[in-house]
Amino acid sequence: MSHTCHAFDPVDSSFCRQRVTLDHAYCAEHKKCSYAGGCSNAPDLPTFLAPYEVKPTIRPSPHHEFVCPDHECSMRGCNYPREPETIWCKSHAPAAPLCAFSGCGQQAAGSSKYCDGHSCAAKNCGHHIAEVEGNRNTFCVRHTPYCAVPNCRYLPLPGRKHCGKHGCEVSRCDGPALRDNSKGLTLCEKHRCAVRKCGNSVDLANAFCANHRCNTNGCTLPATHPRGYCGTFGHGCSVPKCRLPAAHRADMCQDHILAKVRGEAAQAVKAEKDLRKQEAAWKAEKEAAKKAQLEAIKAKEEAAEQAIIEQLIDQMRIEEAVKQQVAREQAEKEAKIAAERQEKARLRMDADRREKARLQVEADRRERARLLMEAERREKERLQSEAKRREEERLQSEANRREKAHVQKEANRREEERLQSEAADEPLWEADEDYLSSSSGTTGSYHRPSHIANHPYLNLPRHIYTPLTGQGNTRRKTPEEVKLEEEIQVGRERLLKSLQSLQDDISFHYQNTEPRERERIFRIADAKDMEEIKKYDHDATIRLRNLRKQQQLLETGRPLY
C-alpha cells in the first residue's frame, strides 16, 4: 500500500506527493470538498486501494479543485464546482434558468418558470404546484381537487371525494367518515354500527355489528343482554350469563329447563320439611312466650323501682347543676364587673394622657406663636430701621445727584456758550431753497429730490470733526477720539442706507397712488428722515463732547467748560 496521495491531475499528468494516513488513500487537501460555500464531505474518491490496484484518475475541475458529488455542477459532463445557493456552475447558470419555486435549484422546463416537478399538470397552466399535506400534489391551487371537508388541505383518494382521513374505509364508498368512534376507524354512518360509541363495521343487511346483533340466525334486532341475544321469545336463554339458544317454544335452553324442574321438586321436599320445622318451632315459641311474659312482668316491676331510684338521682343531679350554674353566673358577673372597672380606669387614664398631651401641644403652639410674633416684631423693627437707613441714603444720594447735576448743567452751559462762540466763525450749511420751498408749500406739484440721500446736511457738522481750538493753539486728536469719530461715521452711513431703503420701499408701494396723496406721504417720510438724522447728529456731538471733556480732565486736571 502506498503512503502518498492517490490524487491525479490530468492537466499536467502528475500525482499528488502529499503523505496520507493509514486509513485513507488521499491527503488532507484532497479528502475535503473545495466547495466555496463550505463543505465537510469528501470528494468522490475511494478510501483505500489495494497494492495491486492502479492509482485512479479522479476528475478535478479545470481550476484543479476536487469537489464531492453533492457540489458538482448538475449539467451532464461538467465537473465544475457549484455556485452557492444553486446546483449549477458559473458558466451554466445563465444558460439554464433555475426553477422559481422556493428552495428548488433545478433547471426550469421549457418556457415555464418552474421545473417539471414544480409545474402544474393542468394543460396551459403556468403556475407552480400547491403545497398539500399527506401526499405529493401535481396541480396548482386553482386546479387542485382538495378533500370535500371544509378547510382540509389533503388530496382525495383516487375516484373519491374525501381524503384518507375524512373518507369511509369501505371500498367504493364515497360517504364522509364519522369522528366519534373510539377505535380509530373512519367509517361513514351507513357502514358503522348503530350502537353509540361503537366503531365496528357492518354489512348493508344489518344495522348492528356482530358484537351488538342477536346471535339467532336471521334476526337483525340488537342484542339487549350480554349473552348476545335479543329480547324476542325463543331466541335466547333468559337465564343471566347463559349464551345457549332457547328451546322450542320456551324462553330457556334445555339445560336450564331440566335444572328448573329438578329445582322445583327439591323445593317441594324442602318446603315439607320446613313446614314441620315451623310447627315444632311454633310450639316451642308459644311456651317461650309464656315464660317470657312472666319474666316481663317481673322485669317491669323491677324497672319501675329502678326508674323511681333513677328519678331521685336525676333530681339530685339537677339541683347540683343548678347550684353550679348559679355559682358560675355569679363568677362571670363579678369578672365582667371587674373587667368593666379596669376598662373604665384604662379609658380614664387614656383620656388624662390625651388631655395632658393636648395641653402640652397647646402650650407648645402658644410658645411658638409667641416666639413667632417676637421674631416678626424684631424683623419689622429691623425692616423699619433698614428702610429708614435706605431712605436717608436715598435722600443723601438724591442731594448728591442734584448737586452733580447742577454742576454738570453749569458745565454744559459754559461748554455750549464756548461752542457757540467757536461756531460763530465757521460756515454753516444752508438748506436748499428749492427743497424748502417745495416741501413747505401745500399747493402745486411736489417732486421728491433725488439727492436727498447725499444732501450736504446729512454729513456730520464740521465742528464735530474739527480739533479743539483755544486761545491761538490747536489740540491734537487722541486715538480714542479718532476711533469714536470712525464709529459715528459708520453708524451714520448705516442709518442713511436704512433710510434710503425705506424711501425706496415707500416709492414702490405708493407708485400707483394718487399724485397728491403720494406727495403728502413723501413729505411726511422726508420730515421723519430729517428728524432722525438730526437726532443722530445731536447724540454724536454729545458723545464726542463728553469724550473730549474726559480727555481734557485727564490732561489738565480741570474740566472742559
Partners of residue 119 on adjacent β-strands: 128
Residue range 434-489, pLDDT digits in tens: 333 333 333 333 344 443 444 433 443 433 333 333 334 445 678 888 888 888 88
Give the helix/strand (H/E) hosting 9: strand 8-9
Q: How many residues in the chain?
A: 561
The dihedral region occupied by 144, where left means phi > 0, alpha psi between -120 and 50, and beta the remainder, is: beta
Q: How confident is the model at residue 58 (pLDDT cuts 50, 70, 90)?
A: very low
3-state secondary structure of 559: coil
The set of cell numbers assigned to 308 is: 323511681
Q: How confident is the model at residue 206 (pLDDT cuts 50, 70, 90)?
A: low
Per-residue pLDDT at 60: 47
The set of cell numbers assigned to 76 is: 451532464
Report the distance separating Cα 178 and Cα 187, nearest Å.
6
- Using a CB cutoff of 8 Å and minimum separation of 24, what contacts does 421-428 make? 422/463, 422/469, 423/463, 426/462, 426/463, 426/466
The torsion defined by the Cα of 111, 117, 122 and 127, in degrees rounded to 10, comes to: -60
The pair phi, psi for residue 401, each rounded to 5°, is -65, -45
Per-residue pLDDT at 59: 46
CB 236 within 8 A of CB 216: yes
Per-residue pLDDT at 360: 92
Percentage of residues in the chain having pLDDT higher than 70: 60
Residue range 216-244, pLDDT digits in tens: 666 766 666 655 666 555 566 767 777 67
CB 201 within 8 A of CB 168: no
Residue range 87-142, pLDDT digits in tens: 677 777 655 567 777 777 777 776 667 787 777 876 667 677 776 655 566 778 66
Q: Stretch 68-73: mean pLDDT, rounded?
A: 73
Q: How confident is the model at residue 68 (pLDDT cuts 50, 70, 90)?
A: confident
Nearby residues of 68 by Cβ (< 8 Å), 6 or more positions away: 33, 35, 39, 41, 42, 43, 44
Closest alpha carbon to 56 in 2, 95, 119, 117: 2
Report the distance separating Cα 485 and Cα 476, nearest Å.
14
Closest alpha carbon to 498 in 529, 464, 452, 467: 529
What secondary structure does DSSP assign to 13-54, as a single string? TEE---B--TT-SS-TTTTS---TT---PPPS--S---TTSP
Residue range 353-397, pLDDT digits in tens: 999 999 999 988 889 888 889 888 889 998 988 888 888 888 888
Q: Stretch 65-71: mean pLDDT, rounded?
A: 69
Question: Is residue 211 predicted with pLDDT exceeding 60?
Answer: yes
Average pLDDT, the chain: 72
Percentage of residues in the chain having pLDDT higher than 90: 9
Nearby residues of 83 by Cβ (< 8 Å), 6 or more positions away: 36, 89, 90, 93
Chain center to CA of 337:
68
Partners of residue 213 on adjacent β-strands: 222
Give the helix/strand (H/E) hosting 353: helix 254-423
Per-residue pLDDT at 438: 37
Nearby residues of 478 by Cβ (< 8 Å), 6 or more positions away: 551
Q: How confident is the model at residue 48 (pLDDT cuts 50, 70, 90)?
A: very low
Question: Is residue 164 predicted with pLDDT exceeding 60?
Answer: yes
In single-letter form, the type of residue at position 144 comes to: T
